[in-house]
Amino acid sequence: MRQRSRFLLKKLIHHGLRGLTASVLSGGAIALSALPSNAINEIAVKFGPTQTTLHISDLEAFAQTGQVPTGLQHYQAALTPTVQQALNNHLNVEPSIRDRFVQDLMDGENGRPFVAMLERVAPSLTPEIIQTALQTAETSDAGVTAITLLQSLPGDTLNIDGMALLRLLSQLGLSHLEQTALGQVLDRELNTPSMGALSPRFDPSVSGSQDFERWSVSFRDHDRDRVIPVDLYWSENSLGPTVVLSHGFGADRHFLDYLAQHLASHGLTVVALEHPGSNVDALIKAEGPLLPAEEFIERPRDVSFILDRLADLNQHSFFLRGHLQTEAVTLVGHSLGGYTGLVLAGGTVDPIALGKFCVGLEVGASSPADWFQCAATEATLPPERLADPRINQLVLMNPLAGHIFGDQGLRPVNVPALVVTSTHDGIASVSDQQLRPFNQLTGPRSLVAIIGGTHLSVGDPANLNPALTQVPFMSERPEDETLQLRQYLNGTVLSFIMQQTDQAEKYQAFLSSDYAAIFSTAALPIRYAARLPPSTDSWLANRDPRTRRLTPTV
């Protein structure tokens, strides 16, 4: 029995921590520092009537040397190099962001499951105590690590409910295992044999020959008291529809700069706009919720407002007259920008379904995007729809589109859609946020699966906000590993947009698995398909009851 329990603990820690700590924490090693006078020195873990004690000094010794002290011999099977690395790593989160997140937990309705989970696992801890401990740990020579955080907690002994902790680790482990399994299925079943039909006369991933201008301007919406910065890429020989780029939460209008320049070099007009309530400036401001509820309404309005202004410029501007075709728009949205595009294309938020989901949300079994979307439960939806008929194509990259639309809210979205999903996305879960919404779309759709890709793999490395890579659960790929992916997206997104033009047939061949195979690498295989494999459809259909069945068992 003891051996089986140790095996289970080892598997839970391995899968839970590997998916959790590798991205929450980054770099660094523990340095000894003086303990606060009231620091805890032991952890008491209770399993029903039995209790075991772990000494912080033993954990510290293991973290420094990798050797298991005598006091931890019973847990030797679980003390893997992954756990040692987790104990050593630093928590590099901007203090103002961290404090606002904790404040959200303490003040917001959506933070209650976190607080309830904390009460079950460690009854003596509260968000306020953890926030104070984080601030204390920051002053140590080592900064914030798992060890210095423990050393900064008040009292002598930290009491933990072992069964509640195992339940949390089991949920984290199941979530990680699900992503891994789905990635393997997509990799295998979408890896179709080459038909040998791709013999292009040109490569759409290569930069075009058009000289283009890039103008940075800002437009003020006086009705909403909102200033929207825009980068406008245009050329004298514009030949196709306008492209709007909508960034994700905490990013800015430069997130897809490489793609904007590529499309502009092929004569397309590109509008990269910035959403002031959910951009990088909003992320690092000192007060307020991290993601205000009204952003779920204001973001689509930002796009419609900008399209109205560009339509005016197309008629009255000396330079831009006739160059801005705003009646046929392809929206490219990343993460929260994907939500923005779906609303503009006719998707309707289902507050009742979202409210039910958020009430029953399990902390360990959910992704950060699940919690971000729950902020919308506090939004006051307008009586009018936010759809804009000018949006007639969508490119959705790692979209945040889980339960916010319910089961039917995406049925009205019938425009052509290209969905890009990353199987190692630690922010927006592959199953809930990306694949399930893909199946709900009713128009022509196709899927690009980046096997091993992360939430920011599609972004421009030169313009990534460093604060984004410090957000929990966001483990990112190095720039050299994503180079081929960005080149592929240049060609595929261009080919998709050109399906609205009289050159559609010329570009059709590049919307294929053969073209994806050209840019696949061992680190990041790329798969393309018009539909999900049957096994994945079955997986998604049975996911919720399967999760409820497995979690209590583990």
The DSSP code sequence of 432-461 is: IIIIHHHHH--S-EEEEEETT--TTTTS-G
The residues near 275 (Cβ < 8 Å, ≥ 6 apart) are 228, 246, 247, 295, 298, 299, 302, 340
Residue where a domain terminates, one of 126, 152, 175: 175
Do 487 and 367 have their domain in common?
A: yes
pLDDT at 153: 83
Tokens of 247: 């960034």
Give domain status of residue 386, yes or no. yes
Within a 13 Å sphere around the CA of 344, how many CA atoms are in the beta-carbon half?
A: 33
- Are the beta carbons of 405 and 434 closer than 8 angstroms? no
154 & 227 share domain: no
DSSP class of residue 39?
A: B
DSSP assignment of 521-534 equals -SSS-EEEESS--H
E strand or H helix that includes residue 280: helix 280-284
Question: Do 333 and 475 share a domain, yes or no?
Answer: yes
pTM, entire model: 0.76
Q: How far apart are CA 17 and CA 176, in angstroms?
A: 10
Per-residue pLDDT of the chain (554 residues; tens, 9 = 90+): 444 444 444 444 444 443 333 333 223 333 333 444 567 888 888 766 777 788 888 888 888 888 888 888 877 777 778 777 777 766 655 666 666 666 666 666 555 666 666 777 778 887 778 778 877 877 777 777 778 878 888 888 888 876 666 565 555 555 566 677 777 778 888 887 766 667 678 899 999 999 999 999 999 999 999 999 999 999 888 767 899 999 999 899 999 999 999 999 999 999 999 999 999 888 777 567 778 899 999 999 999 999 999 999 988 888 888 888 889 999 999 999 999 999 999 999 999 999 888 887 765 556 778 888 888 988 888 888 899 999 999 999 999 998 899 999 999 999 999 999 998 888 888 888 888 889 999 999 999 999 999 999 999 998 875 555 544 445 678 888 999 999 999 999 999 999 999 999 999 999 999 999 999 999 999 999 988 888 777 767 765 544 433 433 33
Cβ-count burial of 500 within 10 angstroms (0-12 exposed, 13-18 middle, 19+ buried)? middle
User: Which residue range forms the structural domain that includes residue 315?
Assistant: 210-532
For residues 157 and 1, what is the distance between their CA atoms, to the nearest angstrom? 28
Residue 292 and residue 246 in one domain: yes
Residue 366 lies in a domain: yes
Q: Which 3 state secondary structure label does DSSP give 68?
A: coil
Report the phi/psi class of residue 396: left, alpha or beta, with left for phi > 0 and alpha for psi in -120 to 50: beta
What is the strand order of the sheet 329-334 is part of? 213-221, 226-234, 269-273, 242-246, 329-334, 391-397, 417-422, 445-450, 526-529
State how far the Cα of 29 lies from the Cα of 46, in Å rounded to an integer.
Answer: 30
Number of domains into which the chain is organized: 2
Q: Does 411 map to a domain?
A: yes
Note the pLDDT of residue 255.
Answer: 95
The reported pLDDT for the residue numbered 20 is: 35
Question: Does the residue 454 lie in any domain?
Answer: yes
- Is residue 186 situated within a structural domain? no
Q: How many Å apart are CA 47 and CA 54, to the nearest integer?
A: 14
How far the first Cα of the chain sits from its last, in Å, is 15
Q: Which of residues 175, 199, 230 is at a domain's end?
A: 175
Whether 14 and 136 share a structural domain: yes
In a domain, 377, yes or no: yes
Long-range contacts of the stretch 312-321 (C-beta < 8 A, 24+) = 320/234
Tell whether 314 and 220 lie within a shared domain: yes
Quote the crossing angle between the two packed helices 257-265 and 479-497, to the nearest 10°.
40
The two tokens of residue 235 are 């050329």
Residues 83 and 220 in one domain: no
215 and 140 in a common domain: no
In a domain, 54, yes or no: yes
Is 145 within the bounds of a domain? yes
Looking at the structure, do residues 143 and 238 belong to the same domain, yes or no?
Answer: no
In terms of domains, do 430 and 282 share one?
yes
Residues 79 and 225 placed together within one structural domain of the fold:
no
pLDDT of residue 24: 31
Domain final residue pick, 175, 202, 219: 175
Give me the CATH number covering residue 267.
Answer: 3.40.50.1820
pLDDT given at position 360: 72
pLDDT value, residue 345: 97
Q: Are residues 125 and 227 in the same domain?
A: no
